[in-house]
């Protein structure tokens, strides 16, 4: 047995020598440092660091406009290399938040899940020691069509890291978008990847962005049902802040099994992305959605928002073909009155679409929210000129109520 063991050890040592050395990224790291000298990175920023899915994320600043984004992705990087260069491209920025995505390349070139976990632990310990006020989140290791044969190893590694994070309380967050990357066949959705079938396409980044923004709120909604079971065949209200802030929903519609699954600031795509958690498990007889305004405000075209709504309908009806889906028209408000042309275009497209299927209904609150001069009634909004007060919800109640199923 000794010669066999010695041969195995020698082979492992030779393979280890063949692994890329961290020095291969010296020029890339130096380029980051030179860029910082020319234009210092923002203080108290949000740092994304890791391998090529971070480096190639060109739309990152546009997706997180409220944050001061720093992108320090270097393509092909190991998680261990992120640790190695942390003193040069992580610690100096003293960010308020770090999003780390790496580990897939480590696994691809032969590192074990345990070795990747050890690298993450080292990074987490470094951040905890040097940046005690900084929040850390690990973006789960994705698998892709080109590396699908590695899926079991990726799953094992993600579980090891997730278990380590969850055991530490709320100091670190595990961002789990892995389920959303898979289609009905359990394999990667090709449209979420670039032509190389390895890196994310913009559609893939849509998924990742959605989970980063809303994972905690979705989990908070699910917690409601840990002790109180949801009614059978409910009416699920879903969408953005105007749904979330509808505090009188249950009392406005007594006797109706309404559930409020609104999460503020969300877009139509977010309801689509989390349908497997907020909609499908509850098997609702009816869904009432209000979303779209945030989408337009973020720069999406009416055509894109309409396509997301169509995708939501298709997703729901594939699993629940008899569920009725109602869309509350994107509403006019003083704060976003400059976007009224886009709002009207979105409403027109969805209204026409709903008219073609008896399982769909367009609930038009638009007319009752306008004053005689054709502009939004000033007395139905809060001080922010965006969200409604009780008087506004009373108007919605009158229009939406007749559409609700018994």
Mean pLDDT split into 10-residue runs, the chain, 406 residues: 37 46 89 95 96 97 95 95 97 98 97 98 97 97 96 98 91 96 95 97 98 97 93 97 96 97 96 97 98 95 98 98 97 93 97 98 96 94 95 97 95
In the CATH hierarchy, which top-level class contains the domain 19-216? alpha beta
Query: For the chain, where do the domains classified as CATH 3.40.50.1110 start and end?
Result: 19-216, 227-403
Task: Give the Å distances, CA to CA, from 202 to 30, 45, 49, 207.
Answer: 28, 23, 18, 9
DSSP code string of 177-194: -GGGGB-TTSSB-GGGB-
Residue 62: its pLDDT value, please? 94
Residue 18: its pLDDT value, please? 55
pTM flag (> 0.85): yes
Residue 292: its pLDDT value, please? 96
| Cα atoms in the Cβ-side hemisphere of radius 13 Å centred on 86 | 24
What's the length of the chain? 406
Residue 5: its pLDDT value, please? 38
Residue pair 185/318 in contact by the 8 Å Cβ criterion: no
Distance, in Å, from the CA atom of 54 to the CA atom of 75, rounded to the nearest integer, reads 8
Residue 21: its pLDDT value, please? 75
Q: Which two tokens stand for residue 57?
A: 């994320």
Radius of gyration, CA atoms only, the chain? 24
Residue 45: its pLDDT value, please? 97
User: Within a 10 A sphere around the Cβ of 164, how many other Cβ atoms?
Assistant: 16
Residue 15: its pLDDT value, please? 41
CATH superfamily of 227-403: SGNH hydrolase (3.40.50.1110)
CB environment 310-331: b (16+ within 10 A), e (fewer): eebbebbeeebeebbbbbbbbb
Residue 10: its pLDDT value, please? 34
């Amino acid at each position: 047995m000794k010669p066999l063991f010695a041969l195995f050890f020698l082979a492992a040592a030779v393979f280890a020598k063949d692994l890329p050395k961290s020095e291969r990224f010296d020029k890339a790291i130096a380029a980051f440092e030179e860029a910082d000298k020319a234009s210092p990175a923002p203080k108290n920023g949000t740092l994304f660091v890791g391998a090529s899915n971070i480096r190639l994320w060109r739309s990152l600043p546009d997706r997180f406009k409220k944050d001061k984004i720093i992108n320090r992705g270097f393509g092909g990087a190991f998680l261990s290399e992120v640790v190695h260069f942390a003193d040069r491209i992580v610690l100096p920025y003293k960010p308020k938040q770090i999003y780390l995505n790496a580990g897939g390349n480590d696994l691809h070139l032969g590192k074990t899940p345990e070795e990747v976990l050890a690298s993450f632990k080292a990074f987490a310990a470094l951040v905890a020691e040097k940046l005690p006020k900084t929040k850390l989140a690990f973006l789960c290791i994705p698998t892709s069509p080109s590396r699908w044969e590695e899926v079991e190893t990726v799953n094992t590694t993600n579980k090891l890291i997730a278990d380590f994070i969850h055991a530490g309380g709320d100091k670190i967050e595990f961002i789990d978008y892995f389920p959303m990357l898979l289609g009905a066949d359990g394999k990667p959705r090709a449209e979420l990847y670039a032509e190389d079938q390895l890196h994310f396409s913009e559609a893939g980044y849509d998924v990742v962005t959605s989970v980063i923004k809303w994972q905690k709120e979705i989990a908070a909604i699910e917690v409601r049902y840990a002790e109180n079971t949801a009614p059978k065949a409910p009416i699920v209200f879903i969408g953005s802040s105007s749904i979330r802030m509808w505090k009188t929903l249950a009392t406005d519609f007594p006797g109706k099994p309404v559930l409020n699954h609104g999460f503020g600031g969300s877009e139509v795509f977010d309801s689509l992305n989390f349908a497997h958690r907020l909609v499908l498990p509850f098997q609702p007889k009816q869904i009432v959605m209000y979303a779209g305004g945030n989408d337009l405000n973020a720069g999406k075209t009416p055509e894109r928002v309409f396509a997301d709504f169509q995708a939501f309908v298709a997703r729901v009806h594939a699993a629940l073909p008899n569920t009725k889906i109602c869309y509350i028209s994107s509403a006019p408000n003083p704060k976003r009155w400059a976007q009224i042309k886009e709002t009207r275009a979105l409403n027109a497209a969805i209204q026409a679409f709903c008219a073609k299927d008896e399982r769909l209904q367009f609930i038009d609150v638009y007319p009752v929210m306008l004053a005689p001069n054709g502009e939004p009634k000033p007395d139905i909004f809060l001080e922010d000129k965006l969200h409604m007060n009780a008087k506004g919800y009373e108007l919605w109640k009158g229009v939406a109520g007749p559409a609700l199923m018994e």
